[in-house]
Structure 1
Amino acid sequence: MERLAGRIMLLGGARRALLAFLAGAFGVLALPPFGFFAALFVSFTLLVWLLDGVGGGPLARLRNAFAIGWMFGWGYFVAGLWWLGHALMIDAEEFAWALPLAVLGLPAFLALYYGLAAMVARLFWSDGMGRIAALAFGFGLGEWLRSFLATGFPWNAVGYGIMPMPLMMQSAHLVGLFGISALAVFVFCTPALLATRRGLLPGAAIAIALFAAHLGYGAYALTVPETPVRGGEVTVRLVQPRIDQAQKLDDGSREAVFAEHLKLSTEALKEGGKRPDIIVWPETSVPYILTQNHEALARIADMLEPGQVLLAGAVRAEDMGPGLEPRYYNSIYVIDDAGQIVGASDKVHLVPFGEYLPFEDLWHELGVDQAIADMPGGFSAAARRALLTLPNGLILYPLICYEAIFPDEVTGDVARADVILNVTNDAWFGNTPGPYQHFQQARVRAVEEGRPLIRDANNGISAFVDAKGRIVAGLDFDTKGVVQSTVGGKLNATLDDAARSLYFGLIMTVLAVVALSARIGFSLRRD
């Protein structure tokens, strides 16, 4: 091990950059659909040894550390997000030119956070356990910043790599995604101590204790009883129509798309099955502006039986007055059996370039007229999230599409809700790792908040997930059909985001103190 570490530390130039890139890319095996979390032990051990080999003056060491972290991040994000290019190829004539920006450019930008993480760690670098505490601190900081800077994009945060199953998701309820990410990096880096032996025993002991606590708390949390939600036993049907995205964008296919949703919603029940109280359609499933199409609302009313409610993803138009273009919102409607819209919630966190153009005037000058989602002027973001209260009293916390990847999008209002509702259209990304990664992140939101999750996707993955992240029932990816289940219970005593933020701050403080103390001791030994 010492010989291998020494050879890696002595690498320079292109070979060092290539190994950093490959180390990051290999770590993606820890993420869905693979779930091989041990891959990150290899990735972060290599990263520690590469950073051990950084030499030169103070500024050169920081610059080189940043470059290594950036290459590591670039490999991680290229391998983990290459599937974003699939969305551009649906309308290749219009957007194929942007393929390199999506597949290579966005990962290059996101890699800046990992470059920053490595550079911050190098400030406190030492020769023992302190350096892995420093790297854990750096990555905790980087992942936290990535969640909100430049609108945020915390997709595939490192912490997800140590949460491949419900047993290993429960700690997120205590310390949140970013606390898990920081502690996970410490654990993943521990094998690097085998090379120098300095700090091996305390480092390994702490890592083993952390991992054991991670599993132990998970086993305990899975036994905590749940409380029934409001409204009694409610049966929900999820409609997964598997509509090709090109067909959804074709105006001539609107009737066929709408008819398919209606047909699946009334599909005959299996023997002994209960009539659903609630039917859910995925994001932007309604191909019409419902407030302008009374016939479509009448057909929905005819489809619904007395007492049933439809939750449907749809585009909502808001009239801005004479001579002005309407505003469009990506929304969820609540429609009763009379065809009346009795509730609505608009998307708050829009996808840059997908649903709107940031710096729109600049892009227009460059010849880019619209975002990928083809709406005049793009979508508008809601000022605040509206909870959905159903006629039976059940309260839903709505998250539309990729809003489910943001822990901070689940605000304190979730305490008033019984269930998290996530509707999405992952048909943009085809049969790639993207939909599987998206599903895992939505499951972790359920665990963080102690709320069951109802998730409906156009082509999958649609599922009922309990408050511990366990899949109760669902449909496989790229399967057309429906699935029914009753709404699961919620956790009574749950931690809020403020408590998780406090614990994250304590974790970062401890890591910083360990790293700084080790750095001071390292400097004194050298002197």
Structure 2
Amino acid sequence: MKTGLWLRFRRAAYRRDSWVAALSAFGLGALLSFALAPLHILLSLPFALGGIGVLALWARSGMQAAVIGWLAGLGYFSFGLSWIVEPFQIDADRYAWMAPFALVFLAAGVALFWGLAFGLAARWQRGGARLVLLMALWSLAEFGRAYLLTGFPWAGFAQFWIDTPAAQLLPWIGAQGLALLTLLVTLPLALLRYRPLLAVLPLLLVALAGYALPPPPVPEMTDKLVRLVQPNAPQAEKWLPERRWDFVRRAIELSETSSTSDSPKPDLIVWPETSVPQLLNNADETLSAISTRIGGAPLLLGIQRREEGRYFNSAILLDAAGQVVQIYDKAHLVPFGEYVPFGDLMAQFGIHGFAAQQGAGYSAGPGAALLDLGIGVAQPLICYEAVFARDVNATTTRPDMLIQITNDAWFGTRSGPYQHLVQARMRAAEQGLPMLRAANTGITAMIDPYGRMREHIVLGKSGAVDGYLPKPLEPTLFRRTGDWPVFILCIFLALGVAVFGRKSHGRS
């Protein structure tokens, strides 16, 4: 009788502990998101990741650990990706009801990568071995999130560190390497109760090394002056027939140069994504008039175009005479934003990508390309493409600069534009290249090859800013190797711990 009562008590306590662990995992994941832009509360990292590590050690089975990992991811992505509801508010009468479903399904789906990593790591019962294995598998899960199913590396752990000395590691190990390092120095905190010195030592060593580093020097500058234009067109008004040309006129006024002006004439002017509300096929007169008004300076801008029945989201370069001399078509499209699977069929049911209402939506361009802008060779990136380190690393010839045109009005005014900017800055630092960034509603910026912002225009303001183009640095290690060294390291680390763990179980 006593034995039966004791077993029932143990089972009840187990169920109660499971609920506490589940709620804690979700809450710690949400706390971890506070380290993302725009908050950047780095103090949340040791508490959140150390606490998640404790729960990973507590898990009694692979399934229980998988649920903990999934719930931690659900909390993290639900808060960190909350900007995803903003596009559904543009046409709220039609789409607002979809917003909570989009957020929940996106967060829950992406969190599956974490759940898989935690579940596999729980096969090894020894605390230290399990944590090390979790570091490797969690990092591999982040690789999977960045590469599989077109990839979605948004809210990666490296984004925490953009304004700290740790960002100086980006040219060497890239964002995935910095994410692995984040886990290496924080997950051992889960052992604080048992091995205090071992738990805090990695964090202390990295903190001391990081803050002992001198700040990067001021980059050398060219004599090429670039004008970045931010017309600040709200997405709900951008395509209205009665308003859309107002924003073009505003961009022209911000771009105009005069021989009587005290400011020197820019060598290049950059407008954001889809600046001209007209297909390139019909825009010859418009582009000629724009070029005349801005004084004949070369102009790079975003526009849509049609070719053989397909639509492209493009960047074009106009010469001094207003002629299109180069075209780049966006290659990495936003799923369900710029296209939907089986788009022509879905269009029959009124289902389109948010940013494209033509049947199947946009078509993808051939891939990474280079444009000769007259001030140097640039790799163009349109909006979402700056999120992907692998895309920026894809050109065979290294450019002199990166250039991103984007319409961040889709991301709202809270976290989305700030997180998008952070990722653009990371791409510049990884490559050791300056970046020219023109955003419709912000944040427009001249970014130096260390990922630091120089001249910029704040979110939600119209304006133009002039800045001299920094010179590129020497090719970085990440430029030469990409993510391969970190990926291989994670594979070997996982295999090594797996073999060690299996031998340990065999001896026990």
Q: TM-score, normalised by structure 2?
A: 0.91
Say if 1:169 and 1:486 are closer, same or farther in 2 by CA, change over 3 A: same
Are 2:311 and 1:328 equivalent residues in the alignment? yes
Q: Cα offset for 1:265?
A: 0.9
Q: Where do residues 236-275 of structure 1 align in structure 2 (5 Å cutoff)?
A: 236-266=226-256, 272-275=262-265
| Alpha-carbon distance in structure 2 between the residues aligned to 1:364 and 1:476 | 37
Are 2:297 and 1:302 equivalent residues in the alignment? no
| Alpha-carbon distance in structure 1 between the residues aligned to 2:393 and 2:484 | 15
Q: Cα offset for 1:89?
A: 1.1
Write out per-residue CA displacement over residues 268-293 of structure 1, whole angstroms, 9 at most, x where no aligned residue. Answer: 79985322111110011111113312
- The corresponding residue for 1:314 is 303
Q: Cα offset for 1:213?
A: 4.2
Q: Cα offset for 1:102?
A: 1.8
Q: Cα offset for 1:241?
A: 0.8
Partner secondary structure for residue 227 of structure 2: strand
Are 2:143 and 1:144 equivalent residues in the alignment? yes
Q: Cα offset for 1:475?
A: 0.8
Q: Where do residues 46-85 of structure 1 align in structure 2 (5 Å cutoff)?
A: 46-55=51-60, 61-85=61-85
Partner secondary structure for residue 251 of structure 2: helix
Say if 1:140 and 1:243 are closer, same or farther in 2 by CA, change over 3 A: same
Are 2:424 and 1:434 equivalent residues in the alignment? no
Are 2:365 and 1:382 equivalent residues in the alignment? yes
Q: Cα offset for 1:253?
A: 2.1
Are 2:436 and 1:454 equivalent residues in the alignment? yes
Q: Cα offset for 1:249?
A: 2.4
Match of 1:337 among 310, 320, 341: 320
Query: Mind listing any 5+ residue stretches in structure 1 that lack a counterpart?
Result: 1-7, 56-60, 321-325
Partner secondary structure for residue 234 of structure 1: strand
Match of 2:336 among 347, 353, 367: 353
- The corresponding residue for 1:204 is 200
Whether the 8 Å CA contact 1:10–1:53 is kept in 2: the answer is no
Partner secondary structure for residue 196 of structure 1: coil
Whether the 8 Å CA contact 1:114–1:139 is kept in 2: the answer is yes
Say if 1:11 and 1:473 are closer, same or farther in 2 by CA, change over 3 A: farther
Say if 1:12 and 1:203 are closer, same or farther in 2 by CA, change over 3 A: closer
Whether the 8 Å CA contact 2:331–2:367 is kept in 1: the answer is yes
- The corresponding residue for 1:481 is 463
State the identity as a percent. Answer: 35
Whether the 8 Å CA contact 2:315–2:327 is kept in 1: the answer is yes
Q: What one-letter code is carried by the residue in structure 2 that aligns with 1:74? A: L
Whether the 8 Å CA contact 1:226–1:492 is kept in 2: the answer is no
| Alpha-carbon distance in structure 2 between the residues aligned to 1:186 and 1:270 | 59
Write out per-residue CA displacement over residues 136-178 of structure 1, whole angstroms, 9 at most, x where no aligned residue. Answer: 11221011001121111100012222x1315221211111111
Q: Cα offset for 1:503?
A: 2.6
Q: Cα offset for 1:54?
A: 1.5
Whether the 8 Å CA contact 2:317–2:326 is kept in 1: the answer is yes
Q: Where do residues 26-425 of structure 1 align in structure 2 (5 Å cutoff)?
A: 26-55=31-60, 61-128=61-128, 130-161=129-160, 163-165=161-163, 167-197=165-195, 200-216=196-212, 219=214, 222-223=216-217, 233-266=223-256, 272-306=262-296, 308-318=297-307, 320=308, 326-360=309-343, 363-364=346-347, 367-377=349-359, 378-392=361-375, 394-413=376-395, 415-425=397-407
| Alpha-carbon distance in structure 1 between the residues aligned to 2:208 and 2:475 | 24
How many residues get paired? 495
Q: What one-letter code is carried by the residue in structure 2 that aligns with 1:249? A: W
Q: What one-letter code is carried by the residue in structure 2 that aligns with 1:126? A: R
Deviates more, 1:167-176 or 1:332-341: 167-176
| Alpha-carbon distance in structure 2 between the residues aligned to 1:375 and 1:288 | 14
Whether the 8 Å CA contact 1:187–1:211 is kept in 2: the answer is no
Whether the 8 Å CA contact 1:37–1:164 is kept in 2: the answer is no
Partner secondary structure for residue 305 of structure 1: coil
| Alpha-carbon distance in structure 2 between the residues aligned to 1:395 and 1:166 | 30
Q: Cα offset for 1:355?
A: 0.3
Whether the 8 Å CA contact 2:368–2:395 is kept in 1: the answer is no
| Alpha-carbon distance in structure 2 between the residues aligned to 1:173 and 1:181 | 14
Q: Cα offset for 1:9?
A: 9.7
| Alpha-carbon distance in structure 1 between the residues aligned to 2:143 and 2:260 | 46
Q: What one-letter code is carried by the residue in structure 2 that aligns with 1:444? A: M
Q: Cα offset for 1:520?
A: 4.9
C-alpha RMSD of matched pairs (Å): 2.5
| Alpha-carbon distance in structure 1 between the residues aligned to 2:183 and 2:14 | 20
Deviates more, 1:181-190 or 1:412-421: 412-421
Query: Mind listing any 5+ residue stretches in structure 2 that lack a counterpart?
Result: 1-12
Q: What one-letter code is carried by the residue in structure 2 that aligns with 1:52? A: L
